[in-house]
Structure 1
Amino acid sequence: MTIPGPLSALRSRREHLLERQAALAALTRIDVYQNENLEQTLHYIMETAAQLMCVERVSLWRYTQTRCAIHCLDLYESSLDRHSSGAQLQAELYPDYFRALATSDAIVADDAHADPRTHEFSSTYLTPLGVTAMLDTPVYLHGQIDGVLCHEQVGPPTPWTPEDRLFGIALANLIALAVERDERRRAEEALRESEQRLATLVAYAPDAILVFDADADRYIEANDQAARLFGRARDALLQIDPLELSPERQPDGRISSEVRQEMIDRALEGETPVFEWLHQNASGALVPCEIRLVRLPHASRRLIRGSVIDIGERMRTEQALRASEQRLSTMLAFSPDAITLLDVDTLRFVEVNEQAARLYGRDRDALLRIGPVELSPARQPDGRLSNEAAREKVEEALDGGVPVFEWWHADPSGTLFPCEVRLVRLPDATRRLVRGSVIDISERKLAEAARRESEARLRGILDASMDCIISIDRDGCIIEFNPASERTFGYRREDVIGRELAGLVIPPELRDAHRQGLKRYLATGEGPLLGKRIEVPALRADGTEFPVEISVTPVSGGASFVTATVRDITERKRAQAELRAAKDAAEAANRAKSEFLANMSHELRTPLNSVLGYAQLLRREAELNERQCKALTVVEQSGEHLLGLIDEILDMAKIEAGTLDVVADNFDLQRLLASIASMMKSRAQAKGLSFTQAQWSDIPRVIRGDERRLRQVLMNLLDNAIKYTQQGGVVLKTGLNDGRLCFLVEDTGIGIRPEHLSEIFEVFHQVRDPSTVIDGTGLGLAISKRLVHLMGGALQVSSTPREGSRFWFELDVPPVETQPPIAVSRIATGIAGERRRVLVVDDEADGRSLLRDLLVPLGFEVYEAADGEAAIDEALRLLPDAILMDMRMPRLDGLAATRRIRALPELSGMVIVAISASAFEHNRARCIESGADEFVPKPFRQERLIELLCARLGLTVLYSASGSNADDEPDGEVVIDAPPSEDLQRLLDLASRGDVRQLLHEANELARRDRAHAPFAGRICELGEAYRMKELRRWLRSFTNGQGSDP
């Protein structure tokens, strides 16, 4: 008998449910409660879940400590029978999923790509892994969501059943039990280890240790040292009342029980009281002790550890010390010298005699509050710090020496006086003491100073000179050789006096010339070197030659005959050589950098040309739906972003080379601000931020300046503001300030610390924030500052950390009376005129294909060549009307090919447009110099290339349905084709109500239905997104009146 379909399905579900229940029971009995290895337990649960749920992937994720992400504890892939872990998902990247996880019992996604809770994973997770359906169940731990158990289907999805959901919840609860048990086991092990460490610490501590239970008011642990100290067995100590170990009162008269309770309370409050205490041992003898109390951490009891030290011996030693000090004071009083007794550890006097008080001009009590450092200047005459020098001498005395040295002291008025000091260590049981005997040697120092002054006058000039000064007599023998000469030539003065100069410091090959010159001077009084500075080689004592600069001066009178000033110029020569080498290296590095930037620009712009080029080609398709348009926009924006990064690096290179400049022209400032605001508003809203454009005063509509560079600066500042702002908003303000046009960008971002404000304009610098990941090159602000400077302004900044930043600059830009034409987007659809041949030359097949796909639909005949040699052959064969020539190719590059084509008479008049991924200005100049008519950098704007090519070939460009072409409208203006009256009236009603969102939606729908109305819709979006509603309503009414003109 055949069982009906529904009944069979019911039976199958019942059997599957029973199988799952059995598996859960088995897991509960065995794995969760018996296996101490959590990892093995989780592996088994994951494998069981994958088998019973019939899914490819089962994984367990737990929140990080900050709950801003979840990380994978275990991922089981059924088909591979493989476990893995370690992946992490950030909440900021998947906000919808994390919100759903926090607010629902389970995420049941039969279609994970479409479900709003899981669709964020499509591109990064679902599609790469083939996941189609997800069942994510929260794991609760200690009353809150601690993680999530994920079941993922791969392949055709099967809807999740209620049993699936209940089974997932059961597994999640089972996992929570396993984790809680593992945490409890670990905590118990840690507690046992802690108690064992405490017992070991108590047993082996060198001091007497007692552990006191404040609630039971008794000792619960004592070591052997405590038993010996109190003269009782350990077990007896644990049974005795703690008060029996103390007399009724302490030496200060306070009751022992009251003081004891005060110290216990302080320890329980977290303090570490250290105090002296009088204990009583088993025989009744009093034992002076020092006690330190510390509260021990414990889950259920208030425990205090007491460390007890017998200080009886220390107290007896202190008494003996006091008696010894009294005897020493008596001895000091009768010494004829100034005597001080210094405590080395505190560097303070502990005793001085009357002679010391008179010497230092202070009374005894004042001296006992200071030390020798306070009686000395900051530095001694040799330049050493007094405290360091004093410490060194004291250490020498402690080591058993008897240092005797001179020292400068200061009296209370600050007057310095010299002394002779003798230090001797005094034996002492408890302190390190040094006795100092001090004698005033002021008179001795005055006599020595007079003698040194007399000697210094004799050799002052020679010794002070940094140059070598050598004097010789008429026989050419040395009679003066100053210290600089000793250092330079390596001879001692006493070794050279009286010896011939030529044999010591002049190289052998020059000695005869020196002697002949000396004879000539003696005979005639003339010498070619007198009064001049010349460079000659000299000879050191070790035989090495080195360059010197020498000046010879005759001396009249005395023994000296000629004196020479000699300067070692080895370092100068080396520095000159190093400077030349550094210059050569810098020039080589600059050439390498230029070559690298050119290669980088070429290698990045070449694929970008294809990416952006085909995106522009796809824009020409009339039947693109909204999703395709959005996808194209992503491609274009990503490509433009990458191109912007490349341009930033190239701009930085131009700044370093000093070739970055600005080009002034008339442009519509308000349209520029509106377009920037439209773009930045979208970026801000994508991050949940507000964006505001405001003016505090009227500004001119049309100004003269560099529109591209001004746009670059404002986009950089606004882009940075959005990057570094996580909540709040960004504001772009403009207005006039004392006749100057001012631009201000404000944000509510992370701000910049004052000490970092000077760094943000450095190359490759970015503000760092641990909670934010920022992309970019770190060049934007450096380039913006330079551009603002080139435009005649100064980029300034102010910032408050965690509140936001303000960047602003002012420009002197003259307003222009004439109004620029209204630029309207238009697409070329063909050419009017004779069909022309175009030869495309590019070693990249993608580059040739892009140009062919662009030009053929417009009516051109397109031929291809892969390098310069082939280009010349094809040009001779086809005689094309124009050549689009790539510049970097194998075999023969574009520059060489262009020169050779221009050299051929039959090809000399041909139009050649150089197309290059190398965007430096010198590359453009080289292309034009080689014979190219035009230069177009990659990636290129297709409409620009078409217009340029047609202009060179004398062709007319035909544009899309608006009926305009490049030659029919002055200054590139396009006649805007208005929609039917009912559509026009609906748009005007929306504009009158101020419903901007619906107005923009209607405009986009209008452009999608009929591309002929795209310029009209584009103008609505431009005015609407800029909130220029009054201007928009006036413009729409002009069409209802039959005027059809742009405002």
Structure 2
Amino acid sequence: MTPVIEQLQSLNRILVELARRQPFHGANFEEILQDILWTSARSLNVARVSLWFYSGDRQHIECAHLFQQSPPGFTAGMRLTASDYPRYFAALQEERTITAHDAWHDPRTREFRKTYLEPLGITSLLDVPIWVEGSMIGILCHEHIGSPRQWTVAEEQFAASLADLVSLVVESRDRHRALRALEESEARLATFFQATSEAVIIHEQGTILDVNAATERLFGYTASELVGQSVLLLTHPEARSLILERIQQPIDIPFEALARTKSGEALIVEVQGKSILYRGRWARVVGIRDITQRKTAEQNVQLAAQRQQLLAEIALRIRQTLELPEILNTTVVEVRRYLLSDRVFIVSFDPRTEEIQVVAAAMAPQWHTNLEVLLQNVHYRSRLLTTPATLSCEREMLDPHLRQVYAAHHIQSCLLIPIQHQPQGPCFLLGVHQCDRPREWQPYERAFLEQLATQVAIALQQAELYQQLAALNANLEQQVAERTEQLQQKMRELEELNHLKDVFLHAVSHDLRTPVLGTLMVINHLLQNNTSDTIPVPRSTLTCIQHSQQRQLHLIETLLHIHVDQQPSLSLAIAPTSLATLVKAIVAELQPLLQKNKATVKLQMAPTLPLVRADPIQLRRVYENLISNALKHNRPGLTITLTAEVQEDMAYCTVQDNGVGIGSDQRSRLFDLYYRGRESHHRTGIGLGLYLCRQIITAHGGEIGVEDNHPQGATFWFRIPIARPT
């Protein structure tokens, strides 16, 4: 999930939490506004958030609340005149939000630079007008201090939603003020009626004894018509059981009941009685106040609040998703449920191609119809696209063709609401059908759908932005994957080159050390045993040195041959070779090294051992590496036993020592490149000897391994083919 999408979802969750946290009915108006400003400042991480309202003459805006994070707190009282900042006030009337990333240079806000922005260090502004019932009443202003800030689309939408929330709060406050005023008026009226003209009835056990003129006016009866009659005459049938209960068990607490006038009109009245001594006998005096209008007003206010709450809930459900089909389907389902209508659908119309299609629909099963066929009807389509308001369904007012279309699809009433979207793209229209009866669409129903259409338009814009971001993200991921694969290929090539370099260096450091060491020991022996200027050198010694240098040169050429190619390989000069003769010569040449380490070599090879198919020089390297490794990894005084025997068509050779042996955790890695063992950090060489031994034996078509005789020592073995007689 991309950061933009995560920000959209996070800000939407904050809006939901804010809506749940603040009950907009019965709450403190100022506290709600401060909570909105505090939440906005923390959510968008801005230094200052302020709320401005227009003055009565609409020539000024005054700061009602200003929240600043450092030092935290609320202030108010600033005032800005429209004539001083004409471009800014003109922009408020024309734009949904004033998003000034660089407020000092933005043509809409640079008027504030000298007097307001620079003194306070403000560099970026995000201002949203607040509209109530088609009139802009104020501005929600976000002020960023520091380096200029690039506001995101999610932040603009969040700020716009907060402005809508402030609008709802103001509307809720106004409704409650009107309700309180109505209640106060009713209270004053009740007092006045108690003193003068309130309907008053005096009865005894339900029989009317007297009434006043206000009662006559209220119920339409004359006093003579009422006196002597039962109070049930003025009672609605639904309230008779309640009135009988109050006659039998009088209480002084006011209660509400349904009354009925002489004309049969039902009234909602508030009844309050008190026992008095009337003409020498106890009776009940009852004041009756008509509260029908008040109850109707309360119901209207309650319904309006419910509609606003429902609108907020539907808008949240619509805007909680970024998938276009889900947004449209949620819209038609919620509208049909709210209006209790038979069909609700949304069509998409492209003005450029004049293509129109149904994109979402919700219909009652009994009124299901083919909307695609309906939309392709020329008469209905023309009426649909050219009538921006409620479509009249009076049959006598429709042309004959349209009447036939309505009858064929059972359309009794139709309502159309445009959903504003991008001017360059397709337009969306919301249609509602009533099929079971003619219906008079109420103004509040149209207002509700228009407000909902605005929320749907915002959700559509968010969905389109999400699709664009998803496409960009997919393209970016593909580019990153391709570039990563290229880099990985380069890394593999570099690792291979580095591997070849290491093998070459390891071979030089390991294989060339043994012949150089042997030659150096012969020369040191000659220098130590003769102090004269001229040192006689036996011919056998020079021959030994010559052979050692020839082997060293051959090793260098072999290593160069191996590491020039990208795929390392050994070039073998195979010839029938006597193992006994070769091993005796190797032991003789290593004699100085054996003497230095006080080591003893035992040869256990039968003279009748057949010849082997081998490269003598490479096989010599195997024996030299195995013997020198045994000397390096054990203390002086070592005994090394060399054996060879025939196993089928292979010669099985061993190099066994009586040293410290090899642990089981090391045997599986001894023939790996670079491996030197746990106790080899103080020794020369970097672990190439045994690796080269395996390479040589494998090139001969044989195999090599090691057996542990711990604590008696270790036994290295290998097999090479026996030479077949020609």
| Bigger Cα Rg | 2
